[in-house]
Structure 1
Amino acid sequence: MANGYRPEIVQRAFVDFIGSRLHPFWSLTTPKLRLIARYTLSNDLIALQFETNRAFKQQTSKISNDWQGGQYLDLRVCIDGVYHQRSYSIVGLTNQPLWWLDDTSDSNIAGQRNTVTIAIKPQGLVSNYLTKQMPLAQVVDTSLPLGHFTLEQTSVIAKENLDNNKPTSLLFIAGGSGITPMLGLIIQALRKGHHVTLLHYSRTVLPKLQHQWQQLNDTYPDFIYHLIHTEDSTTYLAGKRYLSAEGLLSLNLSLADTQIFACGSQALLTGLYKAAAEITLPTDKQLRDNIIVEDFGTALTDVDNGSNQVFDKTVSVEEHTVYLRSRQRQFSSNTTILIAAENADVRLAHGCRQGICQLCRCNKISGVVKNIQTGKVSDDGYESIQTCINIAMTDVVLDI
């Protein structure tokens, strides 16, 4: 018999359907997570540890054997019969012991080989549900590890440094829970021989996390960390409470040859780009070109026309009217179109609310909108837009 197409006698989708009725964690094709533990790291940061199912493990191993430091997951969570999708950073690396646990024995590490952990603030509908209400052993659908906030982004600058016989220097700047995606990144960077400096701005103190940094400092001489407690002036850099050009210069790094990873609030990222604009490099480079931000949630890489005004997802602008042509509805908007619609009790399709999942994408018939992440202003004509990251700059007509 000639080799060729061989139809499946039993379709995998059918097996998945039957399996999900027997046990919601079983699936041949859909990655799933089962909540097995919660850890309170501080008043505003809770870690959730999940067991991964067979589909997650198999599909992840096919891509890259495991996930990279700095990546995230899109979780699909059902609350009161409605599915919501949110993105959360993965803590640490595969087979790496959780840094807040004292037990680092082989048995503890072995028990984590089939788990993945995220750390989130208990704020918002989905985060509150995950951290406070979802029962242990509850199952949620998940994406595979996603994102480009990884060491692969350092390849260009690392090559330049290698050609010039210079060591590759990495600077990590985090604000609050923005430290989450950096835990695995920093360990990966140190293992690869990078010179690593960490700035972590926080309103709270995490003693076990501080212990983790000290352990890394003891193990890797090229690791330097600065924990800036914004309520303690003795921890400030260059006498400044928040990120500043003086603080960056006080690190005595060759900033022109340093790759910067940043994750935090809009205010922190705005301060970083403002500081970068104030620093003159001894080459024809601009420091902002060395900056990589985590962009699935809080990152915003530009300011508005040099005015230092930053658009976030709730910023108020001049009020305009958004028309939904198919529904024959309209509402006023002075923030993102999605939020304005919800404020007017109009339900629009959405998922992550962060410009990643594309579920809110629709067609604009006319009008001008501005992307709050890139600062790009659209043409006054037909195009596809995302309602969660665009604000109306004129009256807008949507094909909804």
Structure 2
Amino acid sequence: MAHRLAGLLENLVEATATPYPVDRYLEFVSPMLTWRETRAKVVRHERRTDRTVTLTLAPTRQWKGHVAGQYVEVSTVVDGVRHRRFFSPANAEQDARTIELTVTAHDDGFISKHLRENVRAGDVLGLGTAAGAFTLPAQRPEHTVLVSGGSGITPVISMLRTLVAEGHHKPVTLVHYARSADDVPYLAELEATARAIGNVDVRLHFTRTADGERFDGGRFAPEHLDGLADADGAQVFLCGPSSLMTQVREHMDARGLGDRLHSEAFTVDTAPVIDPNQPITGTLTYTESDTASENDGRTILEQAEATGLNPEYGCRMGICFSCTKVRKSGCTRNILTGELDSEADQPIQICVSAPVGDVDIEL
């Protein structure tokens, strides 16, 4: 009853605050004073490696915490435009008072570079609700195997920290791939944890030698999981670049262990599907912009950007629905599922939808 009354009060306050939501007025007093929206103040900004930034955030009262492995939408304003991206909290799920994000600033990462170079302690970011099914089971595995590559370490170190915080005593092995030791933002913690806790084993593989030369021996090899993935009761949790994900998945399937693998990708392969029996044809028409382009097989988002348009998007992975637009006519293929859909006047996610023939999109 109390929860229902609180909801009615919130709706009443919102109704009397027109034409803008209450939070638009409150932010003039303080950006951390909110009625409905969740925000977080940056309380620490660390550059632990040459390419990353670790942000410690103090969220407003609306934050309900996360489950280890989940992701959260983070929004920030750059030159008057709000941008949204998704990151996995790295802190243990037991700590709901802060949020730790470690972001890798890629060369083409507009927001990741902004967070590293421009965001400072005291700045305020927008937050969404934690979501995602890449989580540990309530009944912890007999042997937990965490496999990560590059920035994929953030959700799995959250899992490791969570298991350590709850006093989990069964074997936990973390296998991580990086260019070098200098590229592992949690190196000191991982090594200290492995030394101090007997059931935790950390195995690091590097793809560059000490002088920076490429070292293929540091890339994934099936023997890296020998005695781990096939151990009694083992469950494997995988997050990393698409190449690592593919190799581990193929290895697990070949060994008949595919049902033990749980994974989350932070990139999506958007390369056009080449089918000799169905050549790429058609015209993609952007009905709101009075322009068109010849279909080249890529996603509608990528083709629109190549045409010079700037559609709104968030994750580029089909998670956040920020890029949803109405397909007025034509057929599209969902690149995640392969499903074809040609129903007119349907909202679709243009980041994971590719045209099949002529398509009119409300963009």
Report the TM-score when normalising by structure 1.
0.74
State whether structure 2 residue 177 is matched by structure 1 residue 201: yes
SS in 2 for 1:338: helix
* Contact 2:145/2:174, CA 8 A, preserved across alignment: yes
Q: Are the structure 2 counterparts of residues 17 and 70 from structure 1 closer, same or farther at C-alpha, using a change threshold of 3 Å?
A: same
SS in 2 for 1:144: coil
Matches of 1:352 and 1:9, distance apart in 2: 30
State whether structure 2 residue 46 is matched by structure 1 residue 39: yes
Matches of 1:77 and 1:254, distance apart in 2: 43
Q: Are the structure 2 counterparts of residues 360 and 34 from structure 1 closer, same or farther at C-alpha, using a change threshold of 3 Å?
A: same
Q: Are the structure 2 counterparts of residues 253 and 94 from structure 1 closer, same or farther at C-alpha, using a change threshold of 3 Å?
A: closer
Q: In structure 2, which of residues 317, 335, 338 is the aligned counterpart of residue 372 of structure 1?
A: 335
SS in 2 for 1:134: coil
1:130 maps to what in 2? 115
CA-atom RMSD in angstroms: 3.1
* Contact 1:244/1:275, CA 8 A, preserved across alignment: no
State whether structure 2 residue 12 is matched by structure 1 residue 27: no
1:121 maps to what in 2? 104
Matches of 1:338 and 1:175, distance apart in 2: 27
2:213 maps to what in 1? none
Letter in 2 for 1:356: I
Q: Are the structure 2 counterparts of residues 241 and 319 from structure 1 closer, same or farther at C-alpha, using a change threshold of 3 Å?
A: farther
Letter in 2 for 1:223: V
Q: In structure 1, which of residues 37, 52, 55 is the aligned counterpart of residue 59 of structure 2?
A: 52
Measured against aligned partners, the alpha-carbon deviations of 1:190-226 in whole angstroms (never above 9, x if no partner) come to: 5334421111010021477333223322343222221
Matches of 1:329 and 1:114, distance apart in 2: 48
Q: Are the structure 2 counterparts of residues 351 and 212 from structure 1 closer, same or farther at C-alpha, using a change threshold of 3 Å?
A: closer
1:218 maps to what in 2? 195
Q: In structure 2, which of residues 311, 314, 317 is the aligned counterpart of residue 354 of structure 1?
A: 317
State whether structure 2 residue 264 is matched by structure 1 residue 313: no
Measured against aligned partners, the alpha-carbon deviations of 1:46-95 in whole angstroms (never above 9, x if no partner) come to: 10122222333xxx1xxxxx422112220121111111110011111257
Matches of 1:394 and 1:242, distance apart in 2: 40
Structure 1 residue 293, shift from structure 2 partner: 1.5
Structure 1 residue 381, shift from structure 2 partner: 4.2
Matches of 1:50 and 1:323, distance apart in 2: 42
Letter in 1 for 2:57: F
State whether structure 2 residue 274 is matched by structure 1 residue 291: no
- Taking the TM superposition and a 5 Å limit, the aligned residue runs for 1:182-201 are 182-190=156-164, 191-201=167-177
SS in 2 for 1:322: strand
Q: Are the structure 2 counterparts of residues 251 and 54 from structure 1 closer, same or farther at C-alpha, using a change threshold of 3 Å?
A: same
* Further displaced range: 118-127 or 215-224: 215-224
2:76 maps to what in 1? 77
Matches of 2:53 and 2:120, distance apart in 1: 15
- Taking the TM superposition and a 5 Å limit, the aligned residue runs for 1:85-164 are 85-93=84-92, 114-123=97-106, 124-152=109-137
Q: Are the structure 2 counterparts of residues 355 and 10 from structure 1 closer, same or farther at C-alpha, using a change threshold of 3 Å?
A: closer
Matches of 2:227 and 2:322, distance apart in 1: 42
State whether structure 2 residue 338 is matched by structure 1 residue 331: no
Q: In structure 2, which of residues 214, 218, 229 is the aligned counterpart of residue 241 of structure 1?
A: 218
Measured against aligned partners, the alpha-carbon deviations of 1:249-284 in whole angstroms (never above 9, x if no partner) come to: x335425742111111111111112222332x3xxx
Structure 1 residue 325, shift from structure 2 partner: 3.9
Structure 1 residue 246, shift from structure 2 partner: 3.5
Matches of 2:5 and 2:202, distance apart in 1: 58
Letter in 2 for 1:187: R
* Identity, % of aligned positions: 23
1:397 maps to what in 2? 360
Count of residue correspondences: 336
Q: Are the structure 2 counterparts of residues 9 and 364 from structure 1 closer, same or farther at C-alpha, using a change threshold of 3 Å?
A: closer
Matches of 1:37 and 1:141, distance apart in 2: 16
Letter in 1 for 2:340: S
* Contact 2:56/2:99, CA 8 A, preserved across alignment: yes
* Contact 2:295/2:357, CA 8 A, preserved across alignment: no
Q: Are the structure 2 counterparts of residues 84 and 210 from structure 1 closer, same or farther at C-alpha, using a change threshold of 3 Å?
A: closer
Structure 1 residue 187, shift from structure 2 partner: 2.7
Structure 1 residue 135, shift from structure 2 partner: 4.1
Structure 1 residue 32, shift from structure 2 partner: 0.6
Matches of 2:270 and 2:45, distance apart in 1: 29
Report the TM-score when normalising by structure 2.
0.81
Matches of 2:28 and 2:9, distance apart in 1: 21
Letter in 2 for 1:189: L
Uncovered stretches (5+) of structure 1, i.e. residues with no partner: 61-65, 97-112, 159-166, 234-238, 282-286, 301-311
Matches of 1:360 and 1:351, distance apart in 2: 7
1:175 maps to what in 2? 149
Measured against aligned partners, the alpha-carbon deviations of 1:295-330 in whole angstroms (never above 9, x if no partner) come to: 4x32x5xxxxxxxxxxx1366865653123454431
SS in 1 for 2:163: helix
- Taking the TM superposition and a 5 Å limit, the aligned residue runs for 1:221-232 are 221-232=198-209
SS in 2 for 1:67: coil
Matches of 2:170 and 2:272, distance apart in 1: 39
2:234 maps to what in 1? 258
1:273 maps to what in 2? 249
Structure 1 residue 26, shift from structure 2 partner: 0.6
Structure 1 residue 343, shift from structure 2 partner: 1.1
Structure 1 residue 10, shift from structure 2 partner: 9.8
